[in-house]
Amino acid sequence: MPSSEPSSESSETTTSETTTIADFDDPAEANGWRNVDDTVMGGVSQSAFSITEDGYGLFSGTLSLENNGGFTSVRRVASGEEFTGAQAMLLRVKGDGRPYQLRLKMETSDRAVSYKSEFETTGEWQILRLPIESFEAVFRGRAVEDAPTLDPSEVKEIGFLLASKDSGDFQLEIDWIQAEQ
């Protein structure tokens, strides 16, 4: 007898409209994503992004704290249109127990403020709902008090970031990303 696994998906009932931002069902989707690691600050963390046969985005690599490092990320350019009217971001992910951040930016410049929402992962598949109000303005790891309010229709970049003292190999699988209007 197969054991019945509790699933957060079966209880997922929503009447909201959603827009798919990424579903990783096309291997070509990997092309738009680029990794940015702490090597830009002298660290030695390494990350990669690929699409698995099952249609998951796979953000993986090795997180290192050497040389005051300790972060790694992957991101892609976005058109704000996809996010217009978004009240929340929805994710189906399977992480490794580390907390990860979903990040949105209203400018692609390295000097632009990021808006982050951190989520815990469990080693199992999870559907997460990250309200737009939960995104905090940050720049180089510090909160930015006077940043403009995040306007989803102005989003120009979306990404995932891992910043942790828990160094070593890491892995985050992403089945899909949606905007909930």
By the rule CB under 5 A, 23 interacts with Ca ion: yes
- Give the range of 10-18, 79-87, 152-160, 171-179 binding Ca ion by CB under 5 A: 171-179
By the rule CB under 5 A, 37 interacts with Ca ion: no
By the rule CB under 5 A, 154 interacts with Ca ion: no
SS3 content of the chain, % helix, strand, coil (to 5): 15, 45, 45
First to last CA, the chain: 40
Radius of gyration of the chain (CA): 16
- Give the range of 52-60, 102-110, 112-120, 139-147 binding Ca ion by CB under 5 A: 52-60
Which residues does 60 contact at the CB level (< 8 Å), separation at least 6?
Answer: 47, 48, 49, 50, 169, 170, 171, 172
Residue appearing with tokens 């350019």: 77
Please give the Cα distance from 46 to 56 (Å, whole number): 20
- State which residue has the least CB distance to Ca ion: 55
By the rule CB under 5 A, 96 interacts with Ca ion: no
Residue from 37, 38, 173, 175 in contact with Ca ion (CB under 5 A): 175
Identify which of residues 29 and 151 has a Cβ nearer to Ca ion in the complex: 29
3-state SS, residue 94:
strand
By the rule CB under 5 A, 24 interacts with Ca ion: yes
Identify which of residues 24 and 135 has a Cβ nearer to Ca ion in the complex: 24
Identify which of residues 63 and 91 has a Cβ nearer to Ca ion in the complex: 91
Interior CA angle at 105 toward 102 and 107, to 5°? Answer: 160
Identify which of residues 51 and 106 has a Cβ nearer to Ca ion in the complex: 51
